[in-house]
Amino acid sequence: MNPNVLIIYTGGTIGMINDPQTGELRSFDFNLIDQHVPELNRLKVEMDTVSFEKPIDSSNMNPEHWIRIGELIESNYEQYDGFVVLHGSDTMAYTASALSFMFEGLKKPVILTGSQLPIGTIRTDGKENLITAIEIAASKDDSGEPIIQEVAIYFEYHLYRGNRSTKDSASNFEAIKSPNLVELATAGVHIEYHRKMLYRSKVSEFSVQKTFNERVGLIKLYPGIDLSIYKSVFDRSKVDGIVLETFGAGNAPASTEFERLCTEFISDGGIILNITQCSSGKVKHGMYETSSMFKKLGVVSGGDMTTEAAVTKMMAVLAKESRDEALDLLSRNTRGEVAY
């Protein structure tokens, strides 16, 4: 029996064609995908498609959409061997990260993919991305177990862990990168899986968290930053958690005003997570004098987490855990998203 895969179409460039009358790009009826990609009929995979009622540009994604995708996977979990989520590349890494934190005990592949050029254009990258993502979602090892048992992104011959990925280019076909973790698989003549890299959940039962706490702020430091502009981010009546994107190995300018804002926010029950704005490498509190303050204040080190993983993990843990539990989860690796 062929494996079966559910394709969830949320929107983005991949699902567009050129309207022959107007020349404009528009979304097409995704149920007719095999008319646009007839190669799909030659795959030894059974496929069903489900589409967002109104496909969206991924810039319009928000936690409600992540929950919608999570619910679709939850309600179809037993019936399918794997899932492919078609999604715009702009915020794909946020959705992949969010899904990874929503799912507990995931034992099947959830592969996000998209494209830089619409599937209905001659030089599209969408066909290869779609076909290989389906193949990966359907792949099993010799004992019949899914090879991939996590949320991953397939883009331009590479499979990356979802919560390690980031959008790297607005124009290259290689739009997505995973700067701190080697890829999970490389698609050449064969799909080569890097088995040692694959994540395995120890939790036996699959469940989906359907809540996010959006009272999360994100500040990217820069030389000369005027903190008065960011005062409301430190306002505990509005914000429960702050992700700070600091310099290098987690450093910040020595400023009594900044220290005061951080101290008050934390003593008032808020949580601050420190990640680096470098595209690779990690935060090491206390490596330089300019990060020792964070250690003293109880700011959590985000290690080598991406911004996408840090923001979505903060939203996920603050939605359901007590402050102490949230602090504990933010300080350690929970889904293969971080190394320290």
- Annotated active-site positions, please? 13
Q: Which stretch binds ligand ASP (CB under 6 A): 56-64, 148-156, 220-228, 292-300?
A: 56-64
User: In angstroms, rounded to a whole number, what is the distance separating the alpha carbons of residues 136 and 156?
Assistant: 13
Smallest separation, CB 276 to ligand ASP (Å): 25
Q: Which of 27, 51, 89, 132 is close enough to bind ligand ASP by CB under 6 A? A: 89
Q: Which of 88, 126, 146, 250 is close enough to bind ligand ASP by CB under 6 A? A: 88
Q: Which of 27, 58, 100, 149 is close enough to bind ligand ASP by CB under 6 A? A: 58
Q: Is 12 in the site for ligand ASP (CB under 6 A)?
A: yes
Q: Is 162 in the site for ligand ASP (CB under 6 A)?
A: no
Q: Which residue is nearest to ligand ASP (CB)?
A: 88
Smallest separation, CB 178 to ligand ASP (Å): 17
- 56 within 8 A of 13, measured Cβ to Cβ: no
Residues 190-211 as b or e (16 or more Cβ within 10 Å = b): ebebeeebbbebeeeebebbbe
Q: Which of 51, 55, 69, 90 is close enough to bind ligand ASP by CB under 6 A? A: 90
The DSSP secondary structure of 218-256, one letter per residue, reads EEE--TT--GGGGGGGG-TTT-SEEEEEEBTTTB----H
Phi-psi region at 23: left, alpha or beta (left = phi > 0; alpha = psi -120 to 50): left
10 Å Cβ neighbour count for 18?
A: 14
Please name the residue that has the structure tokens 């409600």. Answer: 64
Q: Is 64 in the site for ligand ASP (CB under 6 A)?
A: no
Residues at the contact surface with ligand ASP, assessed by CB under 6 A: 11-13, 57-59, 88-90, 114, 116
